[in-house]
Structure 1
Amino acid sequence: MINKIGKVTVYVNNQQQAKDFWINKIGFVLKMEQPMGPNVSWIEVGPSEDEFTTLVLYSKSVMQQQNPSKVAHPSILFSTTDIESAYEKMKRNGVEVGEMMRMPFGTMFTFKDQDGNEYLLREDK
């Protein structure tokens, strides 16, 4: 089912300053950067080119616009190599799951733990 911790979201005030901090002060490498809309990007950094787990430097203001009451996007993104199987198994196990989302950058769905905390499972191939 889940085989790795894929991404951890860090909500930042300024994505470029955060990228500069992690790359130039901490020594991480840029794993991915692509536009998501006006003045916002999807930025991932990690300890090395070979490391699978990354930090997603996500715009705090964009997230607050999407949900003004709180930053609600799952901050832990798990990874799987078989999203369909994981989705069906979680449903069979009584886990509350969201709708399957098929995006150009990956297929994913949210799920909740026993306390209602929301996580995201994404297929990485």
Structure 2
Amino acid sequence: MINKIGKVTVYVNDQAQAKDFWLTKIGFVLKAEQPMGPNATWLEVGPSESEFTTLVLYPKADMLQQNPSAVSQPSVLFSTTDIDTAYEGMKNNGVEVGELMKMPYGSMFTFKDQDGNEYLLREDK
């Protein structure tokens, strides 16, 4: 049986820019970085050292050659326990963020990475 989500692949135009975005602007940590063939790197980032689930930052150009139908917009929802601090922190770091929506069923906002991929951050208490 499946008991957790291990990895989510995000297809990126430039791994170095993606790595900088997730580590510097979002505050993730580097979980893995190792050569994957002569011209590629396996790159994983995550919210903390102890978090099991990671994002794999995979070169979009490589995947387009391997399996063009696999490359699409990621649909990833992240969680936080303090939406206001996360929103202000991302804005202060220069991340493109959408409107902070405070709804009866929860607070959330969208943000975009360096390639324009959109994500949702939702407060879970």
TM range (shorter): 0.5 to 0.7
- Following superposition, the deviation at residue 49 of structure 1 comes to 0.2
Secondary structure class of the residue paired with 1:70: helix
Structure 1 unmatched ranges of 5 or more: 77-125
Letter in 2 for 1:9: T
Is this contact kept in 2: 1:60–1:71, CA < 8 A?
no
Q: Distance in 2 between matches of 1:45 and 1:36?
A: 16
In the alignment, the residues of structure 2 paired with residue 57 and residue 15 of structure 1 have an alpha-carbon distance, to the nearest angstrom, of 6
Q: TM-score, normalised by structure 2?
A: 0.54
1:1-125 paired onto structure 2 within 5 Å:
1-67=1-67, 69-71=68-70
Question: What is the TM-score when the length of structure 1 is the normalising length?
Answer: 0.54
**RMSD across aligned positions (CA):** 2.1
Specify every segment of 5 or more residues in structure 2 that has no aligned partner in the other structure, as ranges. Answer: 76-125
Q: Would you say how many aligned residue pairs link Structure 1 and Structure 2?
A: 74
Structure 1 runs, 4 residues or longer, greater than 6 Å off: none
- Aligned identity (percent) is 74
